Amino acid sequence: MASISVPAGQYEWLVVIPDKPGMQDKRLEVRGKHLEGAKGLSESGLYKTGGAILNEKPESDDASKFSFYGSALVCVASSKEEVIELLKKDIYTTSGVWDLDNTQIWPAKFAFRNP
């Protein structure tokens, strides 16, 4: 099975971003703006997939009842530093939700992706 191709000089990065403690209300408050920005980055090809990481399986689709751990995403960039710069501009960072100091970022070579 061939790996997924990305533009020359670019790599896919697996990113796990925890939330800072006590930021559930702020996360929900700015969530719409975050999703709007993520949609644009997805449409541009910079974000391949992403979403919330939860501490436990939710009982419903009501986000206000979720126990959020943080976020995960796969993005395309030339360097880890470029990924960090993207994250710094996100409203989850600028509003204090994401804990960038404890973010984990790995270069990745994905073998497959289903729609």
pLDDT per position as a tens digit, 34-60? 999 999 999 998 999 999 999 999 999
Check residue 110 and give its pLDDT.
87
pLDDT per position as a tens digit, 62-77? 999 999 999 999 999 9
In what side-by-side order are the strands of the sheet with 11-18?
Answer: 47-54, 68-77, 11-18, 104-108
